[in-house]
Amino acid sequence: MSTGKRLGRLFETAPRIPFSNKSKIVLFSDCHRGDGGAADNFAKNQNIYFHALNYYYENGFAYFELGDGEELWENKSLISIMDNYRNIYRLFSRFYRKKRLHLLYGNHDIEKKRKSKAKCFDKGFCSRENRMLPLCPGIKFHEALVLRHRESQSEILLVHGHQADCFNYCFWRLSRFLVRYFWKPLETIGVRDPTSAAKNYKKRITIEKKLIKWVEEKNRMLIAGHTHRPVFPSEGEPPYFNDGSCVHPRSITCIEIEDGEIRLVKWGYFIKKSGAVYAGRQLLDTPRSLPCV
């Protein structure tokens, strides 16, 4: 099945989530949360991410994660990842209770579509009370979602983006095997995985071209992750957006939708003139009004 057919199928069958110009939405992807070991690329940005997550919770945003939230190719146990980042999953639980949590799976966490993996989100250990407590019981993980704008009736397809990456979509079990037993040990000594769209710019360009082709042919807006490269098109360009990742060397990126506008944002550590270091938020481009088609 071609990329266009995959995306077309997902667009037709994905659950619709309505939103309006009064809605507040934030979209992250590619956190690759790990077990805290040497190969855990998320660890260096965990404090920035948690600070941003608190900001979005306190300010009434709905949280959308577009896949690869957990690194389940390098790690076999989802429970060990959740135990390592208990503070994040406790905050997820607060989003979930307010019906503001929507999670997609990507290629690195595709196992979450299995009920046995999804059940890991039902309960989490609370060290304060020394017992298991409800976390996100009954949560569903989707391959795609569609945001429907009430004012314009335009629709936005949300996917991880690996649907345009044949090797990591059709042969993900083989790719997982290579990452887990071959590339993970080499990564700890600085060797890059050439099969990764995030680390191979030629592959990344090919994937982006496939996604953009679907956007142009269907005249639809699409937001994805997977490549780790933030994309925010200007007026007149195809409305393909990418929220980047949470494993950049010194920052994380995301996409916000608020007041009928879409914007690309970076969270990182900044230095004041006094020399004080603080975690903050920065716009990376001029916001655009919705719809973008």
The domains found in the chain, sorted by start residue, are 3-289 (3.60.21.10)
Task: Determine the pLDDT at residue 12.
Answer: 97
Cα–Cα dist 222/77, whole Å: 31
* 76-131 per-position pLDDT tens digit: 999 999 999 999 999 999 999 999 999 999 999 999 999 888 999 998 877 776 77
Cα–Cα dist 117/138, whole Å: 12
- Contact indicator for 92, 133 with CB cutoff of 8 Å: no
* 140-175 per-position pLDDT tens digit: 999 999 999 999 999 999 999 999 998 888 877 888
Q: Is the pLDDT confidence value at 234 over 60? A: yes
Helices (H), the chain: 3-13, 46-58, 78-84, 86-97, 115-118, 166-170, 172-178, 184-187, 201-218
Task: Determine the pLDDT at residue 201.
Answer: 78
Task: Determine the pLDDT at residue 200.
Answer: 73
Task: Determine the pLDDT at residue 1.
Answer: 72
